[in-house]
Amino acid sequence: GVGTVTTDLDGTWSIAGSGGPRQVSGDLYGPYIDMNNVAGAEASYSGTADEGVPLAVRFDDGNSQRDERDVFDAINDVHDFFQLFAPGFSYVHQRIGAYVSRTTGYCPGNAWWDGTINFCAAGGAYANTGEMQIVAHHEYGHGIQDAILGWQGSEGLGEGNGDIVSNLLSQESIIGRGFYVGNCVTGIRDSDNNLIYPNDVIGQPIHAAGQVIAGFHWDAMMLLEAVYGPEQGAIEMARSWHFGRVLLHPGTQPDQVFATFFADDDDGNLDNGTPHHEIYCEAASNHNFECPEILLGVYITHAGHPYTGHASDDYDVSSTVAIFGDGVLDESSMTLHYRVDAGGFNTVPMSPGGGENEFVAAIPSAPLTSVIEYYLSGEDDLGHVGTSPRTAPDELHYFRVDHEFIEEMEFATAWSVGAADDDAATGIWERVDPVGTIAQPSSDHTEDGTDCWVTGQHPGGGDGANDVDNGKTTLFSPRFDLTGAESVNVTYWRWYSNSEGNSPNNDYWDVDISNDDGATWSEVEHTTVSSNAWVQIDLNLADHFDAPGLVQLRFVAADEGDGSLVEAAVDDFTLIAIFSTTGVDDMDDDLAIRYITKLSQNAPNPFNPRTEIRFSLREPGTAQLQVFDVRGLMIKSLVDQALPAGEHSISWNGVDQNDRPVATGVYFYRLVADGRILTKRMLLVK
C-alpha cells in the first residue's frame, strides 16, 4: 500500500511508510534487466515487513529458478564492471529483456541475442545455458557490439567480442564450461589459444573465427595483469578494447587490433608508441596481427636493387633517411654492407646524394650468376641505429647478376604482393603448397617442386573459402635491369579459374609488363577465359617495347562484380636476356624460352634395376652427368661430352664404372653444364 522501490547496487532498500506490518512482494526486475521465465511462474518473493526492522528479500530454489537468478546477476555484473572504466556508456544503463527456459527457436543447446537475450532449457546432451553466467555475459556482449557498430562486424567479430566480455567478467578463458551435460572441463571455445589471422579466420565459422580476436585480447589481459594485478590489469585491457571500438568502429579483426593501439595512445601520436605498446604488440604477434610501428630514431628507405644482367658495371644503391625524435643523423655513420655468394660482409661508406636526405653508394661489379646480399645502416647522435631492411642483418636486400633468371617459386625471393589500389578482402596472393579446390590447383607446376604463388591458401570448408572476393589482388615479379640487352624473352606457367561459382566468366585475369620501373605498363593478358589447368605463356619484350630497360611484370586476379569463384596461380617463371657479352647472341629466341638448363627427377624412383634421367641444356656445350654414393665417391659416369641445346635422356641400369651391380641404397646424380651444378637424389631398392 505504500508503492515500489528498487534496491541499490548493494541490494539494500527502504521505502517510506507508517504502521505495520506490511506485505512485501518482489521480483527480478531492475533498471538493467527484466527477467522472464517462459516455462512457468516467474521468480517472485513475498514476505512481511515491520517498520524500522530490516527485511532480507531472498530468491532461492523455493521461489525462483537457478537460470533466472544466474542471468539476472550476470547482467548486473556487466553493468557494474563497465562503471569502472566507461561509466558514461549508455547501453549498460538500459533495461534489457531476458528470457530463460526456452525450448523453441534455436533450442536446445543454445543462447542468442536479438535485442533481447535468450537461453535454452536443458535438453538432450545440452545443459541449461541460462545457468552459465559466462554465456549470459557473451550474449549481452552482442548487444554492446550492436550499440557501438550498429552491426556485429565481419570475420566473427561479434562472437569474439561476446567472448571477450565473458573473459573480462569471469577471468576465465574457456567459454561455456558445462555446456555439455557431464562435461565441466572443456567448454565450447577457448580464448587462450594459438590461432592466427587470417588462416583461422577467413572462411571459418563465425564462432571459431572469433576466437582469434578474443585470443589477442586474452593475451593482452594476462600480460597487463602481470604488471598491474588481476583487477587493474583487466580494467586497463577493457578500457582500450572498449574505447578503441567506440572511437574507430572496427568491422574486421585487424581493424580492431589497430583500434586497441589507437585507444591506448596518450599523446595523439602513434609513431612514438603507446603506454602499453610492447604488451599489445606481443599479444598481436601471437596471433599474426600487425603492430603499429614505433617511429623513433633513424629510418632508412630503400626500394631495393633490381636483378641485373650487367656483370661489368658497379651497382648503384640510393636511400633516403628520416629522423624521428630529437636526434640528429651522424652522416659519417651511413654505411652500405654487402656480400657476394654468401661470403663475408664488405662495407662501403655512403655519401650525400643529390636529393633531400639522400645517401648513395655503389656495390662493385660481380661475375655473372653472382647473388649479392646487402643492407644499409646509420645512427643518430642519441645512439639510435636504423637499418634497411629494418631487421637487418637477419633480413637482407639482394639481387642476382645473370642473363638467365629461373624462378621455380620454391624459395622466398624478390617477388612482392600488393598494389596501392588493391582491395580484395580475401584470396590475397601467397606462396604456398596449394591445397586444391574445384577452382585452385592441388599442386604446383614444377615437376619436383612444392610451392607456387596462389590467390590465397584454401583453409578447408567450401570451395569458395578464401578465393578472391570484393576486389583485386596483385603479384609483382622482381625488377630486372636489362638495359643494353639485345632481346628479352619471358615464359611463365599460370592457372586461372573464373568458370565456377554463382556468376561465372564475369571477371578478368590481367598480366602487364613494364619497361620503365613501373611508370607505365603494357598488356600481356586480359581475359575472362578459364583454364582450370596449368598453361604456359611466352612473350617477347620486343612485341611491347623498342629496347629493354627496367623490366617488371604484374599479375592481377579480381572479383569485382557479383560474387563468383575466382582463383589464380603462377609458377616456373623464366626470363632470358641476350647481351652481346653472353656469347649466345645468335641463339634462337624460341629455344631460349623452350629450353633451360635443368635436371629432372629420375623415373621410376625408387627403381630396380633401371631408371631414366632427363635433363635439358639451354645452349650447346659440354655436359657431365655422374652418379655418386652417399660417401661422395663417383661410381658411374653417364655423360661426359658436348651436347646440343635441348632435352636429353639417359638410363642407368644400377651398375658401377666396372659394370658391377651396386647395392641397395641412396645415390646422387649430378649434372655439370652451362656453368651450373645441379644435383638430385634417387633410391635403388632390390
Residues of the chain with pLDDT > 70, as a percent, come to 97
Amino acid found at 467: D
Q: What is the pLDDT confidence band of residue 280, given thresholds at 50, 70 and 90?
A: very high
Q: Are 70 and 136 in contact (CB under 8 A)?
A: yes
**What pLDDT was estimated at residue 363?**
97
| Residue 586 in this model has a pLDDT that exceeds 50 | no
Amino acid found at 126: Y
| Residue 485 in this model has a pLDDT that exceeds 50 | yes
Mean pLDDT of 149-169: 94
Q: Are 554 and 475 in contact (CB under 8 A)?
A: yes
Residue whose cell numbers read 654487402: 338
| Residue 644 in this model has a pLDDT that exceeds 80 | yes
Mean pLDDT of 517-543: 92
Q: What is the pLDDT confidence band of residue 595, given thresholds at 50, 70 and 90?
A: low
| pLDDT tens digits along 243-253 | 999 999 998 99
**What pLDDT was estimated at residue 647?**
80
Q: What is the pLDDT confidence band of residue 590, given thresholds at 50, 70 and 90?
A: very low
Summarize the chain as % helix, strand, coil (round to 5). Answer: 20, 35, 45
Residues of the chain with pLDDT > 90, as a percent, come to 65
Mean pLDDT of 32-39: 95
**What pLDDT was estimated at residue 589?**
41
| Residue 19 in this model has a pLDDT that exceeds 80 | no
**SS3 track for 90-119:** HHHHCCEEEEEEECCCCCCCCEEECCCEEE
**What pLDDT was estimated at residue 294?**
80
**What pLDDT was estimated at residue 594?**
42
Lowest mean pLDDT segment, chosen from 384-393, 445-454, 604-613: 604-613
**What pLDDT was estimated at residue 226?**
96
Cβ-in-10-Å burial (0-12, 13-18, 19+) of 251 comes to middle
Q: Are 467 and 569 in contact (CB under 8 A)?
A: no
| Residue 582 in this model has a pLDDT that exceeds 60 | no
Summary mean pLDDT of the chain: 90
State the first-to-last Cα distance of the chain, in angstroms, to the nearest integer: 102
| Residue 515 in this model has a pLDDT that exceeds 70 | yes
The Cα 416–Cα 18 span in angstroms is 82
Q: What is the pLDDT confidence band of residue 58, given thresholds at 50, 70 and 90?
A: very high
**What pLDDT was estimated at residue 579?**
83
Lowest mean pLDDT segment, chosen from 478-487, 549-558, 615-624, 636-645: 615-624
Q: Which residues contact 101 (CB under 8 A, 6 or more apart)?
A: 37, 38, 39, 40, 65, 67, 119, 120, 121, 128, 130
The Cα 604–Cα 685 span in angstroms is 11
Q: Are 360 and 353 in contact (CB under 8 A)?
A: yes
**What pLDDT was estimated at residue 596?**
65
| pLDDT tens digits along 192-240 | 999 999 999 988 899 999 999 999 999 999 999 999 999 999 999 999 9
| pLDDT tens digits along 616-631 | 887 888 999 999 887 7
| Residue 489 in this model has a pLDDT that exceeds 50 | yes
Mean pLDDT of 426-447: 92
The Cα 561–Cα 564 span in angstroms is 8
| Residue 584 in this model has a pLDDT that exceeds 60 | no
**What pLDDT was estimated at residue 504?**
81
Pairing of strands 351-352, 329-340: unpaired
The Cα 589–Cα 366 span in angstroms is 26
**What pLDDT was estimated at residue 166?**
97
| Residue 175 in this model has a pLDDT that exceeds 90 | yes
Mean pLDDT of 139-160: 94
Lowest mean pLDDT segment, chosen from 57-71, 82-96, 315-329: 315-329
3-state secondary structure of 543: helix
| Residue 421 in this model has a pLDDT that exceeds 70 | yes
Pairing of strands 351-352, 358-363: antiparallel
Mean pLDDT of 503-523: 91
Which of 348-352, 444-448, 457-461, 650-654 is modeled with the greatest confidence?
348-352
The Cα 582–Cα 584 span in angstroms is 5
| pLDDT tens digits along 105-122 | 889 989 999 999 999 999
| C-alpha closest to that of 575 among 309, 365, 316 | 309
Q: What is the pLDDT confidence band of residue 423, given thresholds at 50, 70 and 90?
A: confident
